[in-house]
Amino acid sequence: MTYAYKLMDSPVGQLKLVARGECLAAILWENDKPNRVRLGEVTHDEDRPILREAERQLNEYFAGKRQTFDLALDFQGTEFQKKVWAALLTIPFGQTRTYAHIAAQIGNINAVRAVGAANGRNPISIVAPCHRVIGASGELTGFAGGLANKMLLLSLEAGQTSLEAGAERRTPAVKGPIKETVKPADKADKANKRPRPAPAPAPARELQTSLFDD
């Protein structure tokens, strides 16, 4: 069976949406490595219904209006890869999982490296959220779309209204673990290694009495 594709512009670069029959088979990145996802013969088709629907739902996701996708998917890979990709679909919006967690979920705790390899070959990026898988220490590990895009997607899901504004602040690479957000006032107190002073107690109200003649 031949594959059909259409291109769409997005805040994370141009995406190539690929269909196999009436199912979505791949979402490829603008600078995707050749042969990362193996497909058959691919022809251009702007009007394939599944591709138009995938584009619509992706635009809603980028605009902060969609948290889950409702698309027919067709994963092509080994049985092990399909187990990993199915596990990706269970990671809720706004949450992350480690490679070890995915390995345990599919019943093979010793397959952490193999899980990482399968995650890297996930054909349906974003919809099957491989960007939600991080290193055990919180590191943003390798991502086919680039670490800057991985951070943008995680930032979107952390509560940013839409991705358009965040795209202007993208960085070429992200190194190190995801850091905890700390309020400015708390930062100063932590730097001084002393607790914030407790507020002074309110003064006691003076008891007043009145004398009345009988």
pLDDT in tens, 41-87: 899 999 999 999 999 999 999 999 999 999 999 999 999 999 999 99
Rounded to 5 degrees, what are φ and ψ at 20?
Answer: -125, 110
The reported pTM is 0.76
Residue 140 confidence (pLDDT): 86
Domain boundaries, the chain: 1-156
Distance CA 169, CA 187 (A): 23
130 is known as an active-site residue: yes
CATH number of 1-156: 1.10.10.10
**Position 179 pLDDT exceeds 80:** no
Average pLDDT of every residue of the chain: 81
Per-residue pLDDT at 145: 93
Catalytic residue among 130, 140, 153, 163: 130
Q: Would you state the pLDDT for residue 34?
A: 86
- pLDDT > 90 fraction of the chain, expressed in percent and rounded: 65
At residue 91, φ and ψ (nearest 5 deg) are -75, 120
Query: What are 75-130's pLDDT values in tens digits?
Result: 999 999 999 999 999 999 999 999 999 999 999 999 999 999 999 999 999 999 99
> How far apart (Å, rounded) are the C-alpha atoms in residues 167 and 183?
24
